[in-house]
Structure 1
Amino acid sequence: MSLDAFLSYLSLEKNYSSHTLSAYKRDLEDFTAYHEEAFLTPDIDKTDYGSIRSWIVELVGKGLKNQSVNRKVASLKAYYNFLVKIGEIKTSPLKKHKALKTEKKMGVPFSELEMQQVLVQIPFENDFEGIRDKLIIELLYATGMRRAELVNIRMQDVDLHQSTLRVIGKRNKERILPMLASIVESINTYMIERNKLESVENNEYLFLTPPGHKIYETLVYRVINKYLSMVSPKVKKSPHVLRHTFATHLLNKGADLNAVKELLGHSSLASTQVYTHNSIAELKKAHLKAHPRNKK
């Protein structure tokens, strides 16, 4: 009963996606199954930290990465915080838990040359899909938005006169992004082809498939992977790497960290600072090249 109430709370009050809800449900069901096998009861509402700790040890022993273990424990932590909130328990058993250490691995960003090549030299087809795919790449690189944010852009979110774009990010947070003149031009070109579609089922969304349906996240990944593979030997080619590229290139050009934070939709500066290591590398190269004390 508590699990159903928790999932309803995440859906109705937190506006979590169905994908996120499924992940929470799966993590809690996994712990419940472990708890029943190890302690002969499926009731996890009043368990203690020792029981959760033994589950963590088992997960690590099975070879699960620390990052994955932390995500599962985060699901439990949210559940117990919910139980505290509704008065089912007084204190969360995970109140003093410290997450396992993880290495923050970022995909190597694309270079400015690679982005120039994919947007200028690649011969995109001059049809609906070709024009749409190029706009997807342009928009992700020019704004740094998340893949889910791009998929859910509605027609009413696009203001071509003001050159701005409204996106809804994590936790249903709204932000307004500026658009370059080239992006406005590309949207206008795309709209000409979009208006030619015979069947437009979800016409409130900006990006559609040829049959007129709303695009989906896997399609966006395929687009990025397909075209960036033509110009880049990098192993990881994804929408998130393009987001990383956006932030890195802005910081390399001297953009303010707080401004980049706002553009990315991060809630804290710490989330944005992970993008600075490449910027620092560029600063070091510039310093070594220009400083008079550097021995040639």
Structure 2
Amino acid sequence: MLEKFLDYIRIEKRYSVHTITSYQKDLEDFASFVLETEATADLRGVNKKVIRNFIVQLSENKLSKRSINRKLSSLRGFYVYLLRIGEITVSPMESISSLKFYAEKQQAFSQDEMTMLQEKTENKSAMSLLEKLIIETLYQTGMRKAELCNLLFENVDFSKSEFKIIGKGNKQRVVPISERLHRDLQNYAEVRRPDEENKTYFFVNKKGKKLGERFVYSVVNKYLSLVTTKEKRSPHILRHSFATHVLNNGAEISKVKKILGHSSLASTQVYTEANIEELKKVFNKAHPRALKK
């Protein structure tokens, strides 16, 4: 039944490889739990009590509320599918709510920090072109880590200076490439040496294999540690920094929404918080009612 569901979201829903992998991991974790606690491999007979016990175990294993909610979302999708094909008549997820939590506020890197990073990487002869491009592509395009790893060679259009990115839900968007990034990408395209199995991917490692997300994270973390003491030094923070900086410099939020691949404007508005904080500082320094006497 699980394989049929994965085929459904791959073929009919056209979910990305990354999303399908997440669904598979979440559902396999749940299936293992059900087998261990209920002594059955049949997920159709699961009730709400089993779901709640699963949540308790995940919490006891110190899984974050965000990660637990993702697993619950996967289970909802699976049981909706079982309802749809008539395998069950009532979903055990019917009255199961997502856990409430306050999202940790992401702290973007400053433009000075990013300039400092650029200067350090340009003067660092040991830094490979690939490592430099990982950081610059993420920061200059707001691309997600998985999107960078899955970027196809055919979707890098040098004639138009743009990427075609396949994001969440298999949605496509077009993102412009700066002149400087365009030049570095062309240089990389001439020296990349993919093996036969991975030649469709634009970015490949020294062995010619498709980039792994763990490798991308390690590269970003390593070089950002040169310019900041902030604890969060992930590819996602580069995406956050991209959005914050272009909005600070006058970009229209609707345009930024398209570049980031957000489905709703509310997701993009998160990045305007930094603008509001800057506005407060300006107000407190300049407005006559705010000036201290």
TM-score by length of 2: 0.87
SS of aligned partner of 2:128: helix
Query: Which residue number in structure 1 is paired with residue 84 of structure 2?
Result: 85
Structure 2 CA distance for partners of 1:29 and 1:183, relative to 1, 3 Å: same
Q: Is the 8 A contact 1:125 1:131 kept in 2?
A: no
**Amino acid corresponding to residue 31 of structure 2 in structure 1:** E
SS in 1 for 2:203: coil
**Counterpart in the other structure of 2:24:** 22
Corresponding position of 2:70: 71
Aligned Cα root-mean-square deviation (Å): 2.5
**Does 1:257 pair with 2:253?**
yes
Give matches, 1:76-225, under 5 Å: 76-123=75-122, 125=124, 130-194=128-192, 197=193, 200-201=195-196, 202-225=198-221
Deviation string 1:86-142 (CA, Å, 9 cap, x unpaired) is: 112233232343211012114321110110011123345558x62222122111111
Q: 1:281 aligns with which of 270, 274, 277?
A: 277
Cα distance in structure 1, aligned partners of 2:36 and 2:101: 24
Stretch moving more, 200-209 or 173-182: 200-209
For 2:277 and 2:219, the matched residues in 1 are separated by 29
Structure 1 range deviating more: 277-286 or 207-216? 207-216
Q: Secondary structure at the match of 2:174?
A: strand
CA distances 1:267-291 after superposition (whole Å, capped 9, x unpaired): 1223223323222212211222232
Q: How many angstroms does 1:216 deviate by?
A: 2.0
1:166-194 per-residue CA deviation (whole Å, 9 max, x = no partner) reads 11111111110011122112223333443
SS in 2 for 1:116: helix
CA shift digits 1:176-226 (9 cap, x unpaired): 0011122112223333443xx5x7543332222233333222221121111
Measure the CA separation in 2 of the matches of 1:165 and 1:184: 10
Could you say what secondary structure the match of 1:177 adopts? strand
Cα–Cα, structure 1 residues 275 and 27, in superposed 2: closer, same or farther, change >3 Å? farther
Alpha-carbon contact 1:140-1:242 (below 8 Å) kept: yes
Q: What is the rounded CA distance, in whole Å, between the counterparts of 1:151 and 1:226 in structure 2?
A: 18
| Cα separation, partners in 2 of 1:65 and 1:141, compared to 1, 3 Å | closer
- Name the structure 2 match of 1:32: 34
CA distance 1:12–1:31, shift in 2 (3 Å): farther
Q: What do the CA deviations read for 1:56-96 (whole angstroms, capped 9, x no partner)?
A: 34544565432233222222211110111111223323234
Structure 1 residue 238, shift from structure 2 partner: 1.0
**1:213 & 1:68 partners in 2: Cα distance?**
29
**Closer, same or farther in 2 for the Cα pair 1:125/1:154, shift >3 Å?**
farther
Amino acid at match of 2:152: R
Report the Cα distance in structure 1 between the residues aligned to 2:220 and 2:241, rounded to whole angstroms.
Answer: 13
Answer yes or no: is the 8 Å Cα contact 2:34–2:50 preserved in 1: no
Q: State the Cα deviation string for residues 146-165 of structure 1 (Å, max 9, x = none).
A: 11111122222112221211
In the TM superposition, residue 260 of structure 1 has moved relative to its aligned partner by: 1.7
Task: Sort the Cα spacing of 1:209 and 1:48 in 2 relative to 1 into closer, same or farther, 3 A.
Answer: closer
Q: Please state if 1:241 is matched with 2:237.
A: yes
Aligned length: 288
Percent identity between the two aligned chains? 42
| Contact 2:138 2:239 (C-alpha < 8 Å) held by counterparts | yes
Which consecutive residues of structure 2, in runs of 5 or more, have no partner in the other structure? Answer: none
Residues of 2 paired with 1:183 and 1:205: CA distance? 18
AA aligned to 2:217 is Y
